[in-house]
Amino acid sequence: MKHLSSLTIITLLSVAFSVNVAARGSDSKPPKPDFSSMDTNGDGVISYAEFSAKKPPHGEDAQTIFDEIDSDGNGEISEQEVNDHKPPRRKR
């Protein structure tokens, strides 16, 4: 009987561990879009209109994110600004 209880406990712990690992995997951040896919008119910069055409992740405000990426504040995002931008870590 003790052997059966130990086996049950090990099985339950294995299942719980697997569920925890699977849940963490689904919490990964979405892939960062590449510059050319956002620069829809091909002029070499991303305007706010181009940027806001894609829905920001997690219901965040598009203007706030745009302003964070537009580090020189000129109202356009260059490819260098996209490459240099480090998104803030998500709170858990």
Q: Which regions of the chain does DSSP assign to beta strands (E)?
A: 45-46, 77-78
Q: d(Cα 34, Cα 52) in Å, to the nearest integer?
A: 15
How high is the pLDDT of residue 10? 77
Q: d(Cα 65, Cα 52) in Å, to the nearest integer?
A: 10
List C-alpha distances in Å: 82 to 33, 43, 68: 9, 15, 10
Q: What tens digit of pLDDT does each residue of 26-39 get?
A: 555 666 778 899 99
Give residue limits of the domains in the chain.
2-84
Q: What tens digit of pLDDT does each residue of 55-71 get?
A: 887 778 999 999 999 99
Q: 2-84 belongs to which CATH class?
A: mainly alpha
Residue range 2-9: mean pLDDT, rounded: 66
Q: d(Cα 12, Cα 5) in Å, to the nearest integer?
A: 11
